[in-house]
Amino acid sequence: MKDGGRLAAAIEILGAVETMRRPVQDALREWGHGHRFAGSGDRLVIANLVFDALRHRLSLAARMGTSDPRALVLATYAVTWDIGLEGLEQALEGDRFAPSPLEEAEREALVADRDISANNQVLADVPEWLWPDFEQAFGDDAVAEGIALAARAPIDLRVNRLKSDRERLLKKLSHTNAVATSTSPVGLRIAPPRGKERAPHVQAEEGFQKGWFELQDEASQIAALVAASVAPSQVLDYCAGGGGKTLALAGEMENRGQIYAHDASKIRLAPIYDRLRRSGARNVQVCAPDPGGIDGLAGRMDLVFVDAPCSGSGVWRRRPDSKWRITPNALSARRAEQDQVLGAARDFVRGGGHMLYATCSVFPCENEERVRAFLSENPDFAPVDLSLRWEGIFGADAARPRFTEEGFATLSRPVRIPTGSSLRS
């Protein structure tokens, strides 16, 4: 396929996502099944166009004067990917599968220097109804944080301490331009691809197949390192999912003690078995969500790790469609679920033990407000001020997250906009 046909495909898929409110991966998969002629390179470019259009949906719509899928995809190609008006027109010419030629209004919008800095919510590409929550979380940095969350995500890897070390992996993965992460001492980072570029397929690497590393965002690595800092010997990963933090804890505990990996969903838990075999972890017991299956652990755990279900606002870089699909009712349901999970998990903590609560959300209503509500109903629990422990865990030079007065942490690293600069789409 030429780029013209790829643009047409992206417009079609984005239209299905917008009109049917479908998860973007489902729409991409269905399009691929119906268009077997499209190669892997074609599908990659099409997916990147769709994802980037969703990442910058509001700011691109402000530039183009419409949120029509055609306008968003064309602006992504010409503006976000920096191919320019001339490059876009060349892609549309001479390809019978391409979208129709540019109209004059589209051409003018693509080259106009349109200032949208007065509308912070649009500049940040955050849904209007969520902007108050987003601004509550980040204050004066809300625009910078929104811009950062609208960018492509890097590929973060976690070194499996049971089988390897960071220096060894940096050498083995030098062809990927991997670098050490700035805070996690067991993390590597590969910069995200730009435009039509393809990200390295790290799961095909020898190191992945042999269990030397796992894919895991640095924020999740940090959460596991904080959990390990209390030196637990008996751990319940209450919402283990695919087991990322379970495996990270196994490495930090050097296969000592016991970790119980539990989740309410067998489907979410299923990937953990292959990952455990690859990792070499021997101190993990998987607890399927059978009735009464973990009742015997009540009151015995040094640490209960609660990575609670949430809105996923912290992973908008990887799932940009989710920020447009979430609804007020869904967010309210998540808060109720978080309260329920915390209330259930507390019964497994021994006297003097710890419970760590984490989400992939940036909203206070899912984070510190849930913890405060829990503490108000459970006076036998007391908050731990992480701000006082941060340097001891990560070192004096480590970047510090955003701390509340109680020492609750929100992990973020926004792009910095120079003071006085002009903010434009």
* Three-state secondary structure readout of the chain: CCHHHHHHHHHHHHHHHHHHCCCHHHHHHHHHHHCCCCCHHHHHHHHHHHHHHHHCHHHHHHHHCCCCHHHHHHHHHHHHCCCHHHHHHHHHCCCCCCCCCCCHHHHHHHHCCCECCCCHHHHCCCCHHHHHHHHHHHHHHHHHHHHHHCCCCCEEEEECCCCCCHHHHHHHCHHHCCEECCCCCCEEEECCCCCCCCCCCHHHCHHHHCCCEEECCHHHHHHHHHHHCCCCCEEEECCCCCCHHHHHHHHHCCCCCEEEEECCCHHHHCCHHHHHHHHCCCCEEEECCCCCCCHHHCCCEEEEEEECCCCCHHHCCCCCCHHHHCCHHHHHHHHHHHHHHHHHHHHHEEEEEEEEEECCCCCHHHCHHHHHHHHHHCCCCCCCCHHHCHHHHHCCCCCCCEECCCCCEECCCCCCCCCCCCCEC
The neighbour count for residue 421, using CB atoms within 10 Å, is 8
Contact 275, 261 (CB under 8 A): no
Cα 241 from Cα 272, distance rounded (Å): 8
What's the half-sphere exposure (Cβ side, CA atoms, 13 Å) at 247? Answer: 30
- φ, ψ (nearest 5 deg) of residue 330: -65, -40
Residues catalogued as catalytic: 360
- Distance between CA 22 and CA 9 in Å, rounded? 16
Q: For residues 394 and 324, what is the distance between their CA atoms, to the nearest angstrom?
A: 35
Q: What's the token pair of residue 252?
A: 């930090």
Angle formed by the axes of helices 142-149 and 131-138, to 10°? 110
